[in-house]
Amino acid sequence: MQRLKDRISIVTGAAAGIGEGIARAMAQEGANVVLFGRHDTVKKTAKDISDLGQKAVAFRVDVANASEVNGAVQQVLRQFGKVDILVNNAGIYPEMLFVEMPDDVRDSVIDVNIKGVWNCTKAVIPSMIKQKYGKVINVSSVTGPMVAAKGETIYSASKGAVSGFTRALALEVAEHGINVNAICPGYIDTPGMRNSASGMGMGPDEYIGKLAEGVPLGRLGSIDEVGDLAVFLASEESKYITGTEIVIDGGNIIQEQKE
């Protein structure tokens, strides 16, 4: 039995990486998946999902632009009549030391990682309240809420904000039958992660292998595994879970870090 049959799900930042993994997993479980992305590549991802006989459509949306978000959500509501699931996944992560970071780079992270979550949730929540049902899943990170690294000050701050937002919103909307939770990924094998290899003077496979050496489970997570977790949080199996952050990192943050 498909756990999300006939549910309407919006996934932001869905063109590739974790967002794509979540969109594919939800489509496989019977959801009508609406992919939001800043670039036209999101349309190809939606087509690839549709070509498998699953249900997916795409909208080119900049989550930092409240007007674009509101317009797209209204189109979704007109087309499908409801939104059952919102996955706030879109995020950016420039690495730069605090003293070197220009204000415009700082502001771009705030716009996408914090305001984007705010804009999409604000656009969707009224319809969820009206129908007395909804699942909001925010993709946060272990970085910020639980651990930190040099060069990730603004990213850490933004994800800490997402965690606080998750807890507070969960309290506000619980009476309306809406669950709000966060996924906190650690090292996940994504195109973005592989693109970081060049900055470390390594090839992608070498870089991924090096990162995996320090993970207790001996490997990086996959986008499919994050998708599986998102499906659980979107399903009725998690109906008594709200305001919670779930770490998916192969056990990485529970160990002492060795120099």
Q: What is the pLDDT of residues 197-220, one digit of tens each?
A: 877 788 999 999 999 999 999 999
Q: Is residue 112 part of a domain?
A: yes
* 160 and 48 within one domain: yes
Q: What is the pLDDT of residues 91-127, one digit of tens each?
A: 999 999 999 999 999 999 999 999 999 999 999 999 9
Q: What is the CATH number of the domain that holds 22?
A: 3.40.50.720
| 48's tokens | 């690839």
Tell me the residue range of the domain where 212 lies: 190-220
* 132 and 22 within one domain: yes
Catalytic residue, chosen from 93, 133, 155, 207, is 155
Mean pLDDT (the chain) is 96
* 160 and 202 within one domain: no
* 156 and 209 within one domain: no
DSSP per-residue codes, the chain: --TTTT-EEEEES-SSHHHHHHHHHHHHTT-EEEEEESSTHHHHHHHHHHHTT-EEEEEE--TT-HHHHHHHHHHHHHHHS---EEEE---------GGG--HHHHHHHIIIIIIHHHHHHHHHHHHHHHHT-EEEEEE--SBTTTB--TT-HHHHHHHHHHHHHHHHHHHHHGGGTEEEEEEEE-SB--HHHHHTTGGGTS-HHHHHHHHHTTSTTSS-B-HHHHHHHHHHHHSGGGTT--S-EEEESTTGGGSPPP-
155 is annotated as an active-site residue: yes
